Amino acid sequence: MYHGVMKAGTPIAPYGISADQLEQQLRVLQRLQYQTVTFGQLLRIVLQQAPRPKKMVVLTFDDGDATFSESTMPLLRQFGMRSTIFLISGRLGKQSFMDVASVNEAMTSGIEVGVHGLNHRSLGRCSETELYEEIVMAKEMLETCLAARLETFCYPYGHHQPRLYPMLAHAGYLGAAAVFSREPTVTHNPYAMRRIYPHSGDGLFRFRLKLSPLYMKWMAYRDRHRNTDGRTQH
């Protein structure tokens, strides 16, 4: 789970990393022979119980800020890797965010586009009208702008609740990406899929640790003691 990727000399935004750091991480994935698949591809593998690559990783980038075009896409092309970007439909074309042309360019390069809400509101605090806007209207707006069918969702702030899962399914989403999840494995529930966050403080040793099955098991144990809005239970 990534956000902004900053060029050299640019201050690192909250939740962001530098382009040099991303390049090092992608190089590790290449050296360890990981195959990148999109979030939608992973969902289809799970739902269809299809054979999966022995070493598989999904790279996701949230929000759709302009650094994806400026810094991330060149690196993905360099390493021949795919990813999924989750766009906030109400910010498409706004200052510092991707516009339709840059998103279309990414899609022609094999990048999957998913939905990250209309205005990035926490769904657990939304009214029914606001939920409709964040889940349904956001999807319809992006599909109209991009002339493409979108099937994946990412919860704003990672906040999710079981009551949301049938709403997402009814809206046509195959699944949804979270941050924390109380499910025992990443793929146990397609609408509550846990993600790993490589942050700017991670060295390569820690990054490799986050790829390990042991780390994933620890994440599952840790998340059992969290609410899905990210707050630790007491």
pLDDT in tens, 176-194: 999 999 999 999 999 999 9
What is the C-alpha to C-alpha distance for residues 96 and 13, in angstroms, rounded to an integer?
12
> In this structure, which CATH number among 3.40.630.30, 3.40.605.10, 3.40.50.2300, 3.20.20.370 belongs to the domain 5-223?
3.20.20.370
Domain ranges of the chain: 5-223
pLDDT at 234: 28
pLDDT at 53: 87
Q: Residue 154 forms beta bridges with which residues? A: 177
pLDDT at 228: 65
Task: Show the low-confidence residues of the chain (pLDDT under 70).
Answer: 227-234
Q: Residue 60 forms beta bridges with which residues? A: 84
The SS3 assignment for 81 reads coil
pLDDT at 223: 87
pLDDT at 206: 95
* Whether the Cβ atoms of residue 90 and residue 119 lie closer than 8 Å to each other: yes
* Whether the Cβ atoms of residue 73 and residue 108 lie closer than 8 Å to each other: no
